Amino acid sequence: MSKAYPPDLRIDDRMIVAAALDRILYDDPDHFAAEDARTVRRLIPHSRSAWLRLGFRAERQGPSMKGEAAGIGDVRMEGDKKVVEGSVGESATWRCGQYKITNHGGDLEIWQVMSDEYAPEPKGARLEFDEKGEPERLTFFQPRDIELRIPFTSLAVGVRLGGWQPWKMVAEGGVVAG
């Protein structure tokens, strides 16, 4: 069975999307232009979303050694850190300039290229549309980290829960004063 690939974006479209996202994210601290949001939504192909999206990241420290070094004293060498990442239910993502964008239909998820949900300071936003398809608001990703320690061991399990917090509203009349 062959896998169907979504159509590709032309370089001109990618540049238009990147410029519109720059204006949406950086021009005004409280508002964004509706026309820029419509342009991005029109150019980024809609991709099917799974009903459940899960991502994981596991880190494990390798074995460490300790001992004594002549002229130095006690020394400790940490083993290499091993990281495993994966996800289930991911949608097609489009790269436009410094952004990765996914069109879920009711919203566009936007991430800076070198950031994701697991970054120490994640840089993600979601452009949300109402039921008529009109831009409504922009939210930003605000994680909540929980660490669960396993009693009587040195093991801990970290869980990052994602949440979206209000950021900007669409400008009245659709144009941002700049």
Domain ranges of the chain: 11-48+90-171
pLDDT of residue 119: 74
DSSP state of 148: E
Read out DSSP for 139-167? EEE--EEEEEEPTTSS-EEEEEE--EEEE
Tokens of 90: 């991911």
CA distance 44 to 7: 10
pLDDT of residue 49: 66
Which residues lie across from 76 on neighbouring strands?
A: 66
pLDDT of residue 82: 77
Q: Which residues of the chain have pLDDT under 50?
A: 1-5
pLDDT of residue 80: 80
Length of the chain in residues, anyone? Answer: 178
pLDDT of residue 79: 78
